[in-house]
Amino acid sequence: MSTVLILGAGSDMAVAIARKYAREKYNVQLAARKLEYLVPLQQDLQIRYGITATVHAFDALDTASHAAFYASLPVKPDQVICVFGYLGNQETAQDDWEEAQRIIATNYTGAVSILNIVANDYAARKSGTIVGISSVAGVRGRQSNYMYGSAKAGFTAYLAGLRNRLYHDGVHVLSVQPGFVATRMTEHLALPPLLTATPEQVANAVFSAAAAKKNVIYVKWFWRYIMLLIRNIPEGMFKKMKM
Amino acid sequence: MQKQLANWGNYPAVTCDEQAFSQDDQLQAVVAQHDAIIARGNGRCYGDASLAVHSISTLKYDKVLDFDVQHGYLTCQSGITLDQVLEIIVPKGWFLPVTPGTKNITIGGAIASDVHGKNHHVDGAFSRHVTWVDVLTADGQTIRCSHTENTDLFWATCGGMGLTGVITVVKFDLKKIETAYIKQTQIKAKNLDEVIRLFEEYKHYTYSVAWIDCLQKGDAFGRSILIVGEHATTADLSPKQAEHPLQLPKKSQLTMPFNLPEFVLNTFTVKAFNWLYYGKNFKREITNVVPYEPFFYPLDAILHWNRGYGKSGFVQYQFVLPMDQQSGLVTILKRISDKGWGSFLAVLKVFGQQHDLISFPMEGYTLALDFPVRKGLFEFLDELDELVLQHKGRLYLSKDARMKQEIFWKSYPDAKRFQEIVQRYDPKGKFRSIQSDRLLLTKPQ
Ligand SMILES: Cc1cc2nc3c(=O)[nH]c(=O)nc-3n(C[C@H](O)[C@H](O)[C@H](O)COP(=O)(O)OP(=O)(O)OC[C@H]3O[C@@H](n4cnc5c(N)ncnc54)[C@H](O)[C@@H]3O)c2cc1C
C-alpha cells in the first residue's frame, strides 16, 4: 500500500485531498500545527476507508524543526502534497512587516524548507512524487494581493526548478494552480460560481494529475486561458488597471 | 458573505450571511460573534426553520469518530449526511434505525427535527435511538445530554429546531441487517376506508407508507397504494443479488436542471401513479425484493425535483391527527381535493405512540402533500389549520413556512415547557430562526 503525506492537513482542501487518497487506498499521514484539528479526520479516514492514518505535528514556520519532523515519520511517504498556505491581509502586510513576513514564510520559505528535505530524500531513493499547491495569484502581481501573489510566484518557480532537477532522478513534481476554490478561507468573498472549484474537484484533479505525471494543472480548464490572457496584457496597461 | 438562501420548498428565500466551520474552536468563535444565529444542515426542511440573517453551516463538520461494528453504534459530527453514513454502515451489515424519505439530510437535522420514518409505529422517531448528544449552548459551553443526563436539554434538543444550540457530536444506535435489500409488498386500496383498514391489517410490518391519489371523488375517494416492507434476508435474494448481499447495484441519477412550471411535476406523478396502479401492479397485491434506495428514497433518484414546482416555490403541508380522529382525515382530504390546489399525490403514514416534549409525532395518522405557492394559498391553509386544530392534531415544524403563531401554541401542549428550557440555556435568545420568531418561540428583533 502506498502512503501520502499531507502538509497543512487542517484546511478544507486538505480534507478533500486526504479523503480522495484514502478512497484510493493510500495510507495517509496528516501533518499540521494543531494535532487536535487532525484527530477527528484521522478517525474518519480510518473508519470510512479502512486505511491507516497517522497525525504529526508540523509547523511550516519553524524551519529548524523540519529535518527532525521528516526523520520522525513512521514510514517514508511515496507522495508528498504541500497544501498549506496563508492568504494574509494585503493592506496590513504593507505596513506591518510581521504580517508580510508571515505570508512569505508560510507560502514560500516554509514550503521550500520542507520540500528541500523531501527532494533530497526522493533524489537519493530515485522515486517519489511531490505535489505543490501554488496559486494563480502567482502569475502576475496585482495591487490587491501581491504579498501573497509574490510568495506563490516564488513557490511556483521553485516547483518548476525542482521538477527540472528531479526529472533526472525519476522523481515527479506536480504544480497545482487552482483558481478560485470555495473554502472557509474564501467564504467571505463573492466568487463567480462558474470559475470556482469545490475542494473535492481540486482533490480529484490532484489525484489523477499526479497519477498521470502531469506537470502543471489548473483545476478548471478555462483558468489556463484566463491566465494566458492575464500574462499577455502589456505591463504599461496592466499597471493602470484596478485589480 | 451575503447570499440568497432558501430551503427545499424554495419558499421563503432570504438574504443570509452563512458561515461554515470544521473545527470546534471555529464554531465557538462564530457563535460568540453573533447575537442571533441558527444552525443549518443540508436545508432539507421545507420552510424557514434553518433560515436567519446569520446561519452557520454544519456541512464541513462531517467526521465519523467511532464505529462500533460489533454492537452497532456510530459516533459522528453533526454535519455528516445520512447518505454518507449509509455508505459506511451498510457494507458492514448495519442500517439507520430511522430514516426520513430523503438521505440528503444531516444527523444534526435528524435530531433537531426528531425525524420519523416509515417505521414510526414500531421504532419511534430518531431520538429514541440516540445514546447522547453534545450541544454547544449560548454561553459557549458544550453540554452532553441524553435520556438520563441533562434530560431537559435532551428533550428540548430533539425536535427543538436548533433553538437550544448547535448539536456537535452524536452517538446513536444502528439496526442490524443481513442484506441491502427490502422485501416489499404493494397493495392496492380502492379508497380511503380500505387503506386505513389495510394499515391496521399490515401493522406488524416494520415499514409502511401509502400514496394517495388526491383527485378521485365518490367511491374512489382516497384511492391508494400501500407499500409495506421488511429488510430482506439472504434467503429472499436472487442468486445474482446474493453474490454481494450488502452491496447495491450501481445507479444513475436524473437531475432537474432548472425550474419547471408546476404542472409538469403533477403530470409526471399522475403518470407514475397510474402506471403503478393499473400497470405492473394490476394484481391487488404484489411482492418483490428491491434495493433499499428506491424503497426509502424514491424521490432522491431525481436530484432537485423541488425545482419542478417552479420559481415561486411550494410548501409542504404535513399534519398528524390522533387515531380516533379519522373523520377529520376525511374532512381535510376532501377540502384539499375539492380545492384542487394540492399535489396529485399525498403520503399517508401511521405513527405509533410517542409523547415527547416538542417532537411532531403522536399516535395517529399523518398526511403530507405539496402546495405550489400562489395567491390565496395561505388563507386556504389557515382554514385547514383550524380543521387540524379542531381534530386535536398538529403540523410538522420541519415542513412549516407559514403557520400562525396561535395555531402552534394551541396544538403543541408542551410548547411553554419547551420555551422555558430553551430560555434556561439561552436567556438572551441567541439561537433563533425566522420560524422561531414567527411562532414567537423567540422574541422577534
Ligand atoms: C424529500 C424529502 C422527504 C422528507 N421526508 C421526511 C420524512 O419522511 N420524515 C421526516 O421526519 N422528515 C422528512 N423530511 C424533512 C427532513 O428530514 C428534515 O427537515 C430534516 O431536519 C432536514 O435536515 P437538514 O440536515 O437538511 O437540516 P436543515 O433543513 O438545514 O435544518 C432543519 C432544522 O434542524 C436544525 N439543525 C440542523 N442541524 C443542526 C445542528 N447541528 N444543531 C442544531 N440544530 C440543527 C435547523 O436549525 C432547523 O431547525 C423530508 C424532506 C425532504 C426534502
B64-177 and B181-406, same CATH topology:
no
DSSP codes, B261-281: -THHHHHHHHHHHHIIIIIIT
- Listed range (A123-127, A135-139, B46-50) with the worst mean pLDDT: A135-139
Per-residue pLDDT at A108:
98
Beta-carbon contacts of A189 under 8 Å, excluding residues fewer than 6 positions away, are: A180, B1
Q: Does the pLDDT of residue B255 top 70, yes or no?
A: no
pLDDT band per the 50, 70, 90 thresholds, residue A235: confident
| Mean pLDDT value across chain B | 93
Q: Is the pLDDT of residue B281 over 60?
A: no
**Of B118, B292, B295, the residue nearest B199 (C-alpha):** B118
Select from B111, B119, B114, B69 the least CA-distant residue to B94. Answer: B69
Q: Which atom of ligand 1 is nearest to the CA of B396?
A: 11
The DSSP letter of residue B309 is G
What local confidence, expressed as pLDDT, does residue B261 receive?
62
Total-model pTM: 0.95
| Range with lowest mean pLDDT among A10-24, A182-196, B251-265, B373-387 | B251-265
Number of other CB atoms surrounding residue B427 within 10 Å: 10
The C-alpha cell that represents B47 in the structure block:
420552510
Is the pLDDT at B161 greater than 60? The verdict is: yes
* Strand ranges (E), B89-149: 94-95, 130-136, 142-145
Residue with cell 416489499: B184
Q: Give residue-wise pLDDT tens across range A67-90.
A: 999 999 999 999 999 999 999 999
Q: Which residues contact B311 (CB under 8 A, 6 or more apart)?
A: B10, B259
Q: How far apart are CA B47 and CA B10, in angstroms?
A: 8
Any CB–CB contact under 8 A between A187 and chain B? Answer: yes
Q: What is the DSSP letter of B237?
A: S
H or E stretch including A146?
Answer: helix A146-167
Q: What is the pLDDT of residues B214-236, one digit of tens each?
A: 888 899 999 999 999 999 999 99
Report residue A198 as a C-alpha cell.
469545490
Ligand 1 atom 3 nearest Cα: B101
Interface test with B, best of A15, A47, A185 (most B CBs within 10 A): A47
Residue A17 has pLDDT above 90, yes or no: yes
pLDDT band at residue B262 under the 50/70/90 scheme: low
Residue B378 buriedness (CB in 10 A; 0-12 / 13-18 / 19+): middle
Taking the CA of residue B398 as reference, the ligand 1 atom at the shortest distance is: 19
CA distance B131 to B76: 12
B67-83 pLDDT, tens digit per residue, is: 999 999 999 999 999 99
CA gap A241, A184 in Å, rounded: 28
What span, in angstroms and rounded, lies between the C-alpha atoms of B12 and B59? 21
Is the separation of the CB atoms in A175 and A205 below 8 Å?
no
pLDDT value at residue B258: 65
Q: Is B67 on the interface with A (CB under 8 A)?
A: yes
- Where along chain B do its domains lie? 64-177, 181-406
User: What share of chain A has pLDDT > 70, as a percent?
Assistant: 100
Please state, in angstroms and rounded to a whole number, the distance separating the CA atoms of residues B420 and B13.
30
Per-residue buried b or exposed e for B227-266, using 16+ beta carbons within 10 Å of the residue's own CB: bbbebbeeebbeeebeeebbebeeeeeeeeeebbebeebb
B181-406: in CATH 3.30.450.20: no
pLDDT at B301: 77
If one counts the domains in chain A, the total is 1
Residue B407's closest CA among B423, B392, B418, B417?
Answer: B392
The CATH architecture to which B64-177 belongs is 2-Layer Sandwich (3.30)
Please report residues of A whose CB lies closer than 8 A to that of B19: 187
Specify the ligand 1 atom closest to the Cα of B114: 11
Q: Is B68 on the interface with A (CB under 8 A)?
A: no
Backbone region of residue A3 per phi and psi (left: phi > 0; alpha: psi in -120 to 50; beta: other values)? beta
Chain B positions touching A10 (Cβ under 8 A) are: 23
Mean of the pLDDT values across residues A50-62? Answer: 98
Give pLDDT, residue B282.
63
DSSP state of B293: H
Shortest Cα distance, chain A CAs vs residue B432, angstroms: 22
- Half-sphere exposure in the Cβ direction for B324 (13 Å, CA): 1
**What's the pLDDT score for residue A187?**
82
- Look at residues B30, B23, B76 and name the one whose alpha carbon lies nearest to residue A34: B23
Asked if residue B160 has pLDDT above 60, the reply is yes
Q: Which of A132, A117, A137, A8 is nearest to A61 (CA)?
A: A8
Residue A216 near residue A162 (C-beta atoms within 8 A)? no
B166 lines ligand 1 (CB under 6 A): yes
Q: Is B160 in the pocket of ligand 1 (CB under 6 A)?
A: no
- Least confident among A112-116, A159-163, B21-25, B280-284: B280-284
A44 and B66 within 8 Å at the Cβ level: the answer is no
Give the one of B18, B23, B64 whose C-beta lies nearest to A37's C-beta: B23
Taking the CA atoms of B227, B340, B259 and B117 in sequence, report the sign of the dihedral they define. Answer: negative
Predicted local confidence at residue A90, as pLDDT:
95
- Residue B63 is nearest to which of A12, A43, A184, comparing CB atoms? A43
| pLDDT of amino acid B280 | 62
